[in-house]
Structure 1
Amino acid sequence: MQKKALKVNPTDNVIVALVDLSANEKIVVEDLEFTILKDTKAKHKFASVDLEEGDSIYMYGVIVGRALYPIKKGEVITTENVKHKSAKVEGKTETTSWTAPNIDKWIDKTFMGYHRPDGQVGTENIWLVFPLVFCENRNVETLKDIFEKELLFDKPSKHQLLLRSLINDNTETVETNEVEDYRVFKNIDVKFITHQGGCGGIRQDAEALGRLLAGYVNNPNVAGATVLSLGCQNLQIDIFKKALEKISPNNQKPIVIYEQQKSGTVDEMLNGIIKDSYEAIKQANEIERKPAPISKLVLGLECGGSDGFSGISANPTLGRLSDLMAAIGGATILSEFPELCGVEQELVNRCVEEKDAERFLQLMKDFEDSVIAAGSSFDMNPSPGNIKDGLITDAMKSAGAAKKGGSSPIQDVLDFTEYIHKPGLNLLCTPGNDVECTTALVGSGSNIVLFTTGLGTPTGNPVAPVIKISSNNALVEKMPDIIDFNTGEIITGKKSIDETADELLEFIIKVASGDIKTKAQLLNQNDFIPWKRGVSL
């Protein structure tokens, strides 16, 4: 029988409703009886004790808010009676101990990946086409149209066929399985990126974009790239090359670079790009999948469209998985610094190096200061959807979001655009914005992104598979076309976190081996938005 409510941590003074609760309903949680004073929807919280004005609200064992008014035992907490509050952190207070999970069943597991000369292993084989400046977006779009029609012809979608039937005034729509599936190259995909940066903004944003794009070229999922430049922009070819050299001094990936202001007419430039890129793509198609230990996986950890169940089902599942990867020798990257507000002390104490603890706190401070300077603050991070589904303060949202990082030691702290170089758990400074965060994770080396959600989001990436993980059963039933994996049975009590994490790792291995395409890949959801520092939560 499913529990009706859950106290997450023994020190908490709020309890999570696992199902809708009615006013005057009596429920029992950990042998204590509670009377629900007002209708409380699933995912929301009610007070487990009487609270006075100014009292701190605890959940997940940390401060997540303060009472604006007296709140009675059994009363639901809302944005009207609770405001954001988080604990102050000055520095490392202790070194957290960690017991690694048993990895006997995983130690010899492999996936079928693309081995790169630098030792990285990709889960995809991508030829990437992108501009250094937005002035070249049209040329990239032209190339995209040409290559997709001639090189990467796939079955048209049912929506294309619907429009085709309307144009031809046909009453019968052709089924997609009646159309021949033909691809010139079976072993490589060509992906295209456009963006609005590279010039016109501050030089620091152009330089950051150059580092980000260099990270994409260096990502193990990328076999090589075609780069378009106008010539006069802030993000010069030289800046991009130096950024790539810093990440990969001995880069052996082929890169085709064209500068329009040195190439004559558009036709002349496109002809050269098509010929040179085709030859390089043909060679990259010869790379085949080979077995690789799962320690070669770099998993980006992210959440978006979170709900009140995310912190007790989907995110702890990723936390368990992150711990398994750390024990195996693989790597995970925990991002979204605005969603770590309130749990800094735990994370600082988990940093292996004192310098990383100090850097984490400094990055958090600098980020929050920039947000405040823009007239906002971290406590404005929860979205209307978050609040509607039970995440009413940033600290509450953060405490649940941090569960994605498990409990293993933090091996490194990376700033935006810095590339991962240590196994184990890494922290990466990014905003919480879904696409900006995913974009940054892949630029720092993630070859798969794990994305938990309670409300649903179609987010994908042109280079790395994005596995969408639901926190609840209702979402899977409502949006099966965007959800890859479900952790909702943790809420119903049918499965444990450990059991679900094992199933998720098996699923990841299949995605990494190319046996399963993610829903975002099937939908051709290729999102790319570079972060402009200081303007995003």
Structure 2
Amino acid sequence: MSSPPMTEIPPLHTYLQIHPDDNVLVALRDLPAGTTLLHQGQAITLPKPVQAKHKVTTEALAIGEPVRMYGVRVGKATKPIALGEVITTTNVLHEAEAYGLHSRQAWTWQPPDVSAWQTTTFQGYPRTDGSVGTRNYWLVVPLVFCENRNIRMLQDAFEQALGYGKTDRYRQQVQQLVDSYRAGHLDKVDLIADAELPIDRSLLFPNVDGIKFLTHEMGCGGTAADAQRLCDLLAGFITNANVGGVTVLSLGCQKSQLSMLQAAITARSPTFDRPVLYFNHQTYGTETELLTAAIKQTFQGLVQLNLQTRQPVPLAKLNIGLKCGGSDGFSGISANPAVGHLSDVLVTLGGTTLLAEFPELCGVEQELINRCTEERDAQRFVQLLESYAAQAAAVGAGFDMNPSPGNIKDGLITDAIKSAGAAKKGGYAPIAGVLDYTEKAVRPGLHLLCTPGNDVLATTGMAASGATLILFTTGLGTPTGNPITPTVKIATNTRLATRMPDLIDFDAGPIVAGGETIAENGERLLHWLVGLASGRYQTKAELLGQDDFIPWQRDVNL
């Protein structure tokens, strides 16, 4: 079986039926009461106003009848719903399609024409294991929370001296207030929020894109499994192609031992040969001796890392994580399918993409089962998904609780609606593999990666699984990034891109306006990514220093 392509939006259109089997229409503009929508030969007069992003029915629904969107069941009526009435949390409850391995069918798809991209290259950092980085970072990590202070001491020592520290306009604002208070004229101060401050762009090591410092609250006091999970996560970051060298601080007596980390690195990359410097605090004795040694050897490592230069490599060497957060009712019809088209283009070229957020695949499980090229991957997807769902159920939670108040307010009233739109980030390509949290892809193609929907837990997991770029679609605006993997914020609507320009990198809003097709927008994004991957510019998250890192301890998180 196959799934039909997304419906394109004509210019100046006011509503959209996403799939021919759907019994709801999406409002693309605010529609006043009394508006008449002409749909398949019938006139639908709206009894009440409908906000953009929300849905109205194309038929009257009785209690218990299904609501269909994206061609799948996304809810059921909990009370009679009239023709043209808005569906809300008061008249519709989450309900998803049944799925199972026994229903698996062969998947067919039409790969996109990639002839225009066959010879395109980006300037990346090739590693000896065959991976290619879009950045060349030195990473500094603690094996246990006891070393967090020392990590921060190293960060303070290195960042400003080497030119990687961010100019802090807010510190200058506070200093301005302090000076004004002392001078006795605080009431006359007018702070300028967007003042541009001078930034020293002269870097001592121009081929080193930065030094990244991680802290966490793990490493000891938990279970042996917790310690192993931390080592697996850190090993994923260390072996990510964007990392050229690493400094590791250890206390010495913690559960997360250096030997565990070394084994986890070897398991992910048997021929790993990038420099990893280990410093055991209890061996050195004093903090001064520990940090002095770490500073000297790390600086020497940076000197060597700076000798590496970018080289032209094919797009097949990109590894891209696919994520959405702060989603709205336009996510599944603009930014997500545009990213899905980009994913299809990339995997057709031989690249790798990672579709994360298992709680946001609810309702489209059968399609994903069908798309797995190997039976074992379909089986693993079901096993990981059902284990995750059972863990949530054990504490009285469920995937149906995933939508946030912001999601609901902007049209995503059930998890199945949210999930069916979120899954569009994965396009239509067959699924080459299914990965658990922090596992790396061993073959090119589209992969399903088990992560929570939580923004930072998911992006942390994608970076640990090897993503060298992350595409993050958002309809409401989400200020987050990743320490080692550039995170691209893609607005689902132009209003958001205009309102939050310091967060948004790319606008998929022209799709909603009918000014661009899904494919045109996705390929324009891919063209922009070539420059980003080549280091010609940075994401807004990089410019803001949004280095968010939160390990998932496998607790219930939707």
TM range (shorter): over 0.9
CA–CA distance in structure 2, aligned partners of residues 33 and 470 of structure 1: 33
Structure 1 counterpart of 2:140: 129
Point out where structure 1 has 5 or more consecutive residues left out of the alignment. Answer: none
Structure 2 counterpart of 1:438: 459
Aligned-partner SS, 1:456: coil
Distance 1:309 1:359, change over 3 A: same
- Which of 353, 361, 376 is the equivalent residue of 1:340? 361
CA–CA distance in structure 1, aligned partners of residues 121 and 277 of structure 2: 33
Structure 1 counterpart of 2:522: 501
CA–CA distance in structure 2, aligned partners of residues 403 and 139 of structure 1: 43
How many Å apart are 1:425 and its aligned residue? 0.3
CA–CA distance in structure 2, aligned partners of residues 99 and 503 of structure 1: 21
Per-residue CA deviations over 1:172-216 (Å, capped at 9, x if unaligned) read: 999756564432211111010111111222221221111111011
Residue identity in the other structure for 2:47:
L
Structure 2 counterpart of 1:118: 129
Structure 2 counterpart of 1:38: 48
* Correspondence 1:398-477 to 2 at 5 A: 398-477=419-498
* Correspondence 1:138-537 to 2 at 5 A: 138-152=149-163, 156-169=167-180, 178=198, 180-188=200-208, 189-537=210-558
Aligned-partner SS, 1:311: coil
CA–CA distance in structure 2, aligned partners of residues 74 and 228 of structure 1: 62
Aligned-partner SS, 1:233: coil
Aligned-partner SS, 2:12: coil
CA contact under 8 A between 1:155 and 1:181: conserved in structure 2? no
CA contact under 8 A between 1:152 and 1:185: conserved in structure 2? no
Residue identity in the other structure for 1:439:
T
Identity of aligned residues (%): 50
Aligned residue pairs, count = 537
CA contact under 8 A between 2:163 and 2:201: conserved in structure 1? no
CA–CA distance in structure 2, aligned partners of residues 508 and 85 of structure 1: 37
Residue identity in the other structure for 1:248:
S
Structure 2 counterpart of 1:7: 17
> Is residue 99 of structure 1 aligned with residue 110 of structure 2?
yes
Structure 1 counterpart of 2:39: 29
CA–CA distance in structure 2, aligned partners of residues 342 and 228 of structure 1: 44
How many Å apart are 1:155 and its aligned residue? 6.6
CA–CA distance in structure 2, aligned partners of residues 477 and 315 of structure 1: 19
How many Å apart are 1:28 and its aligned residue? 2.0
Residue identity in the other structure for 1:182:
S
Residue identity in the other structure for 2:344:
D
CA–CA distance in structure 1, aligned partners of residues 25 and 309 of structure 2: 51
Distance 1:80 1:277, change over 3 A: same
Distance 1:231 1:83, change over 3 A: same
Higher deviation after alignment, 178-187 or 337-346: 178-187
Higher deviation after alignment, 473-482 or 177-186: 177-186
Aligned-partner SS, 1:217: helix
Higher deviation after alignment, 84-93 or 408-417: 84-93
State the superposition RMSD in angstroms. 1.6
CA contact under 8 A between 1:299 and 1:447: conserved in structure 2? yes
How many Å apart are 1:168 and its aligned residue? 4.4
How many Å apart are 1:167 and its aligned residue? 4.2
Deviation beyond 3 Å, 4+ runs, structure 1: 29-32, 163-182
Residue identity in the other structure for 2:217:
Q
CA–CA distance in structure 2, aligned partners of residues 534 and 409 of structure 1: 30
Aligned-partner SS, 1:312: coil
Higher deviation after alignment, 200-209 or 249-258: 200-209
How many Å apart are 1:163 and its aligned residue? 3.2
Aligned-partner SS, 1:302: strand
Distance 1:488 1:268, change over 3 A: same
Distance 1:95 1:523, change over 3 A: same
> Is residue 64 of structure 1 aligned with residue 74 of structure 2?
yes
How many Å apart are 1:96 and its aligned residue? 0.6
- Which of 72, 76, 79 is the equivalent residue of 2:86? 76
Distance 1:179 1:306, change over 3 A: closer
TM-score by length of 1: 0.97
CA–CA distance in structure 1, aligned partners of residues 550 and 381 of structure 2: 24
TM-score by length of 2: 0.94
Structure 1 counterpart of 2:26: 16
CA–CA distance in structure 2, aligned partners of residues 198 and 155 of structure 1: 29
Aligned-partner SS, 2:336: helix
How many Å apart are 1:23 and its aligned residue? 1.8
Aligned-partner SS, 2:116: coil
Higher deviation after alignment, 450-459 or 181-190: 181-190
CA–CA distance in structure 1, aligned partners of residues 205 and 170 of structure 2: 25
CA contact under 8 A between 2:166 and 2:545: conserved in structure 1? no
Per-residue CA deviations over 1:251-278 (Å, capped at 9, x if unaligned) read: 1010011111111101110011001111
Per-residue CA deviations over 1:413-453 (Å, capped at 9, x if unaligned) read: 00111111111100100000000000000100000000000
CA–CA distance in structure 2, aligned partners of residues 336 and 468 of structure 1: 17
CA contact under 8 A between 1:210 and 1:239: conserved in structure 2? yes
Aligned-partner SS, 1:206: helix
CA contact under 8 A between 1:157 and 1:176: conserved in structure 2? no
CA contact under 8 A between 1:26 and 1:33: conserved in structure 2? yes
Aligned-partner SS, 1:310: coil
Aligned-partner SS, 2:212: strand
